[in-house]
Structure 1
Amino acid sequence: MTGTTMTGASPRAHAGGANRWVILVVLCVSLLFVALDATVLHVAIPSVTEDLRPGPVELLWIVDAYPLVCAALLILFGTLGDRIGRRRVLLLGYAIFGAASAVAALAESASVLIAARALLGIGGAMIMPATLSILRVVFPDRRERATAIGIWTAVAAIGAATGPVLGGFLVQHFWWGSVFLINIPLMALILPLGRWILPESKGSSDGPWDVLGALMAAGGILAVVFGVKRLGTGVGLLDGRALAALCIGAALLILFVRRQRRREHPLIDIGMFSRPAFSTSVGCIIVAMLALVGLELIAVQYLQLVLGLSPLQTGLRMLPLTFAAMAAGATGSYTIRWLGPRRMVCTGFVLTAGAVLLLVLMGQTDWPALMLVSFVMLGFGLQTTLFAAYESMLSEAPPERAGGAAAIGETSYQLGAGMGIALLGSVMNAAYAPGLAAVRGVPAESSAAASHSLGEAYDVAERLGGPAGQALRAAARTSFVHGVHVTLFVSAALLLLGAVAGLRLPRIMDCSAAGQDRDAEPEPLREERPSQGRPHAVKVPAPARPGDVATVESGRTGH
């Protein structure tokens, strides 16, 4: 992009003064919905399984259709917002999100629920890029932007962590569909509020919109994840369908990268990944979200099915994670100036790995104190990593690629969430199923059915009854705890690899004049004469990365 046009009703659309913090509140509420829906269904999974009776693959798709579709379409809708207006795309995303929530709440089959979750992903893909793009416009100063990013990333983590709490309350008092109904009145409120408060902004970049490239990326991501999930069901490493999906996905992603290198107006500037700090930050975001969402899904099942907690009790047990994430986000702008991006990311990963290894001590008995300490470390560590990774990524991107960098960061966030469910869920299933292969007194077909999930094992055991049912139930619990331990060790290894990768990040956060963009000269603000009764438009310079200095004049905002 070579510039950005902002339009909005005066004086509401002006980002100067305290009003920009009001805009941040609206943007964070928007993001909260997207992050919340990534995890709000986790506590309701047992109820959904009992009501809709999905198969093991359908169950995984019910959970991760939303983050995967969202991740696949973020680049597409991010570039669309640059052309037709980010606020316009954001408001359309609100409407789609609300409609999809109604369909999901009333779904009577697993296929309808999967389709509704995919539609929610489309709405989320419209909302996420617009929030960060508008944030960049209204917070041009790097220090203020660091504070805003800290709040923004904290809200994302809070949404993901609060999902099980809210979901547990709703499932316990109503039915599983209520976890989606809450979106409808909130969207009805924020749609007119956003239209009234948020400024409009457009990138001035021309060129064709590469829909084919976006579809190639989406197909590649979905194929790879399908292959990983297929392998996780215990079909074997040489399963033809799994290998075919992995090969097709890899081929599509390779073709996508080659296509982006050749195009004059690519969806993603592949050259940005040649910058070590940028590519490392993107990888750290993926690993952090992979750990957060994947472990959260497993923890919810453990708390309910092994320890026997209610959905509400499960959500309350995970509240410390939320509060710790809030604390890390609130102090992030100070921490990064003190530690620097490198040490902040590495410290966050190591702290999170320690929390995961502490959870390995959990068995079939409840240790509330141990879980409290682990969840506090987990929330604080992951949020610390996410904050530093986001700030480093946005600072490293060149000014003319600011919008693309924002979309890449949000794609990484959602892709990490989806891959966490797929990868860690697959590891969990692969470690759980073998323990039920030969339970004494249990028919082979019953053992095969019980190997799909712990909830299904309990159902099979209840139908069998007698000593065989008791033996199957005990074996399923033991096997599930073993699967949790294996998954935790895999997660800790991934987190420590993330800490090693974080050593490539800059040692300090450069806020000096030397750290400003050298290649972007500010151009004068040009105000167009508005027609009567219509909002005026202001032409502002190219979107700047964190570190650019803004000039805020009375009656107009630019950077």
Structure 2
Amino acid sequence: MSTTTAETAPPPTTARAGRRAWLGLALLALPTLLVGLDMNVLFLALPRLTADLRPSGTEQLWITDSYGFMTAGFVITMGTLGDRIGRRRLLLIGAAGFGAASVLAAFSTGTTMLIAARLLLGLAGAALMPSTLALITSMFAEARQRGQAISIWATCNFTSAAVGPVLGGFLLEHFWWGSVFLVAAPVMLLVLVAGPVLLPEFRNPDRGRLDPVSVALSMAAVLPIVYGIKRLAVPEGGGPTLPVAAIVVGAGVGALFVRRQLHLATPLLDLRLFRNPTFTAVLCALVLAGVVMAGTGLLGTQFLQSVLDLSPTTAALWFAPMGLGVGLGTMLAPALGRRLPLPAAIAVGLACSVPGCLLITQVGADGRPLPLAVGVAVLALGTGPLFALGTGVVVGAVPAERAGSAASMSETSNFLGGSLGMALLGAAGTGLYQQRMAGPVADAVSAGLPEGAAHQARETLAGAVGAAHRLPDGAAADLLRAAHDAFTGGLHLAGVTGAVVFAGLSVWFLRLHRRSQQG
């Protein structure tokens, strides 16, 4: 195929994809799974990683969510860059970087090294994700095939919630915690070898110039806000003045970014798309759904291991229904979308998530994992139409030559939601835990617990487990019981938050449906 043709023009709108395109989709499924897996697999590794590297509370949050925040921060730039330099080229660059950073993370000898590796993984992930979705629009021009391909892509993207814990549990049973990162290296090598053969190249023929000022402004807006949220979530002294100031500065720079985008002929982020109410609702819903699912995932997997004392593999199997529920929901979404208008289909799905969230609030510290497994499965099943049909709305809102930029908006919403979920719901759970543990820890100090161990017990559940070994049997049992109840309260908080969020989003999409009927 001529390089000029492949790189400057999309396929004809009536062409049907052949065998090579479907093989290419199968290849694209690999980085799609791995980028999501790299976030989810860390949940199970966190207890062992924490015991080995002993990060502080702030460092632990950086380890868990720096990856997602970096991806969210750079994915818009990367999506637009892919439209300009070539989507396949950017995919291969991202694959090489992701493989190298995975090796660095696997063999990290300290928290600083691991955080740096996670930052690099996030940057590489930002190059991979919009490229995979944008390439689908190049490979599948016929509308029905494209819808099927996007549903498969969405299934792979979110099934990582199931695959990640199961794979992580198996690896943690047999190897050290770094093995959960190392698995990405051979997969990315396969993408580098097979990508040039199976995947077409595509560049926007009217790509224009990438505006470096917009890139700088986008990062200067995101990073201070991220810093401020983290400092407010886990205070380290000095009061709230500095983090609040950082958030204000970030918001101010964000306003400059928005103003610049509205005046550029080829903006980094086309904000005019937000005039479409369904487009806006989908992106907001993707963020909020990501908050609930990631926060529940973080707290739920730790609950299974640290409160119910399940092995990593057993915990992974009990939590796998979340990813399986998303996968089933995304696969069923096209059939639902053919029977209902799109806003109504999404509203019905999100309404089905509410009972799952409420079931999570009934999980007990001394109970069984079944209510949690059923709750997360129902929660995830209802999000399927949002992820599959909503992604199609976002990508379909722009011409094919700008699909990378549109895909980056969808991915920004996904990863920003996931990172905010781990940061905000994780911090809320930690705050509730620390509040409820003040009295029990004071009792433990009276029973002979040293002040240093008492501080650790107040900070985290892992610290309470360690402190219990230094107490007499009766006092140790009381401390552990209080710690388990306090941590379970954080999981209940995530369930209540999810029920409110999904109910509100369902009402929003129903109103969009009614307005479309009236119009």
Please indicate, yes or no, whether the TM-score normalized by the shorter chain is above 0.5.
yes
Q: CA deviation at 1:147?
A: 1.0
Q: Which residue of 1 is the match for residue 460 of structure 2?
A: 453
Distance 1:502 1:105 in 2: 43
Distance 1:190 1:394, change over 3 A: closer
Q: CA deviation at 1:238?
A: 6.8
Q: Which residue of 2 is the match for residue 198 of structure 1?
A: 199
1:199 is paired with a residue whose SS is coil
Distance 1:397 1:200, change over 3 A: closer
Q: CA deviation at 1:44?
A: 0.3
Does 1:483 pair with 2:484?
no
**1:348-367 correspondence runs (5 A):** 348-367=349-368
Structure 1: which 5+ residue stretches go unaligned?
9-13, 511-559
Distance 1:235 1:53, change over 3 A: closer
Q: Is the 8 A contact 1:436 1:476 kept in 2?
A: yes
The amino acid that maps onto 2:162 is A
Distance 1:468 1:397 in 2: 63
Distance 1:367 1:438 in 2: 27
Q: Which residue of 1 is the match for residue 224 of structure 2?
A: 223
Q: CA deviation at 1:234?
A: 6.2
The amino acid that maps onto 1:156 is N
Distance 1:51 1:306 in 2: 20
Distance 1:420 1:28, change over 3 A: same
Distance 1:219 1:458 in 2: 40
Q: Is the 8 A contact 1:219 1:249 kept in 2?
A: yes
Q: Is the 8 A contact 2:353 2:502 kept in 1?
A: yes
Distance 2:432 2:221 in 1: 27
Distance 2:359 2:477 in 1: 30
Aligned counterpart in structure 2 of residue 495 of structure 1, from 488, 495, 502: 502
**1:85-124 correspondence runs (5 A):** 85-124=86-125
Q: Which residue of 2 is the match for residue 521 of structure 1?
A: none
Does 1:151 pair with 2:152?
yes
Deviates more, 1:98-107 or 1:320-329: 320-329
The amino acid that maps onto 1:382 is T
Deviates more, 1:442-451 or 1:69-78: 442-451
2:203 is paired with a residue whose SS is strand
Task: Please give the per-residue CA displacement for 1:167-213, whole angstroms capped at 9, x wherever unaligned.
Answer: 11111111100001111111112211112111111111343312332
Q: CA deviation at 1:468?
A: 4.0
Task: Please give the per-residue CA displacement for 1:525-558, whole angstroms capped at 9, x wherever unaligned.
Answer: xxxxxxxxxxxxxxxxxxxxxxxxxxxxxxxxxx
Task: Please give the per-residue CA displacement for 1:84-112, whole angstroms capped at 9, x wherever unaligned.
Answer: 11111111111100100000000000110
Task: Please give the per-residue CA displacement for 1:335-384, whole angstroms capped at 9, x wherever unaligned.
Answer: 11112211221122222221011011111123344234223212211223
Q: CA deviation at 1:467?
A: 4.3
Q: Which residue of 2 is the match for residue 419 of structure 1?
A: 420
Distance 1:389 1:236 in 2: 42
The amino acid that maps onto 1:452 is E
Q: Which residue of 2 is the match for residue 554 of structure 1?
A: none
Distance 1:295 1:208, change over 3 A: same
Q: Which residue of 1 is the match for residue 308 of structure 2?
A: 307
Distance 1:161 1:145 in 2: 25
Q: Is the 8 A contact 2:17 2:145 kept in 1?
A: no
Q: Which residue of 1 is the match for residue 247 of structure 2?
A: 246
Deviates more, 1:197-206 or 1:108-117: 197-206
The amino acid that maps onto 1:115 is A
Distance 2:157 2:192 in 1: 20
Q: CA deviation at 1:262?
A: 2.2
Distance 1:225 1:487 in 2: 21
Distance 2:154 2:267 in 1: 27
**1:289-368 correspondence runs (5 A):** 289-368=290-369
Distance 1:210 1:106, change over 3 A: same
Q: TM-score normalized by structure 1?
A: 0.85
Q: Is the 8 A contact 1:432 1:480 kept in 2?
A: yes
Q: Which residue of 1 is the match for residue 387 of structure 2?
A: 386
The amino acid that maps onto 1:137 is S
Distance 2:455 2:232 in 1: 16
Q: Is the 8 A contact 1:340 1:508 kept in 2?
A: no
- Work out the percentage of aligned pairs sharing the same amino acid: 37
Q: Is the 8 A contact 1:32 1:156 kept in 2?
A: yes
1:202 is paired with a residue whose SS is coil
Distance 1:272 1:395, change over 3 A: same
Deviates more, 1:268-277 or 1:446-455: 446-455
Q: Is the 8 A contact 2:82 2:404 kept in 1?
A: no
Q: Which residue of 2 is the match for residue 23 of structure 1?
A: 24
Q: Is the 8 A contact 1:305 1:454 kept in 2?
A: yes
Q: Which residue of 1 is the match for residue 12 of structure 2?
A: none
2:109 is paired with a residue whose SS is coil
Task: Please give the per-residue CA displacement for 1:381-428, whole angstroms capped at 9, x wherever unaligned.
Answer: 122321122122233345664332111111111111111111111111
Distance 1:398 1:200, change over 3 A: closer
2:419 is paired with a residue whose SS is helix
Distance 1:508 1:171 in 2: 51
The amino acid that maps onto 1:67 is G
The amino acid that maps onto 1:159 is S
Q: Which residue of 2 is the match for residue 377 of structure 1?
A: 378
Q: Is the 8 A contact 1:37 1:160 kept in 2?
A: no
Does 1:33 pair with 2:40?
no
The count of aligned residue pairs is 502
Deviates more, 1:346-355 or 1:64-73: 346-355
Q: Is the 8 A contact 1:348 1:382 kept in 2?
A: yes
Distance 2:190 2:402 in 1: 33
The amino acid that maps onto 2:299 is I
2:254 is paired with a residue whose SS is helix
Q: Which residue of 2 is the match for residue 279 of structure 1?
A: 280
1:204 is paired with a residue whose SS is coil
Distance 1:368 1:303 in 2: 7
The amino acid that maps onto 2:325 is A
